[in-house]
Amino acid sequence: MNSGRVQAVLQKALALLGTPYRWGGTSPDGGFDCSGMVGYVFRSALGIELPRVSREMAKDGEKVDKASLAVGDLVFFSRRGKRVDHVGIYVGDGRFVHA
């Protein structure tokens, strides 16, 4: 992603800090779950439609090593190595924003 697009994503994501968590949530008014927040950020900042749930987002993406993460990359998590069940947006310095 070019730097202008990365900045648009980060600006939109960080502006949502403090939005309440709501399972299945997809809007700043009603609250977000993790994939709802990530989808909202990419849709509103860049016009990019992502799959609704984190495990589907992970299937569509290109895997990168943790050491190669770039700001704006999506980071995925799973419990005990099972299926993906959480997603966030990497903001640098080992940190990410998520719901």
Q: Which helix (H) or strand (E) holds 91?
A: strand 84-92
- Selecting among 8, 58, 89, 98, the annotated active-site residue is 98
For residue 96, name the pLDDT band (cuts at 50, 70, 90). Answer: very high
- Selecting among 13, 34, 45, 97, the annotated active-site residue is 34
- Specify whether 69 is catalytic: no
- Specify whether 86 is catalytic: yes
Kindly report the pTM of this predicted structure: 0.93
What local confidence, expressed as pLDDT, does residue 9 receive? 97
- Selecting among 5, 22, 55, 86, the annotated active-site residue is 86
Q: How many residues make up the chain in this entry?
A: 99
HEC string of 29-51? CCEECHHHHHHHHHHHHHCCCCC
Token representation of residue 71: 């700001």
pLDDT tens digit sequence for 7-66 = 999 999 999 999 999 999 999 999 999 999 999 999 999 999 999 999 999 998 889 999
What residues have CB less than 8 Å from 83, skipping those under 6 apart? 55
CB 32 within 8 A of CB 99: yes
- Specify whether 56 is catalytic: no
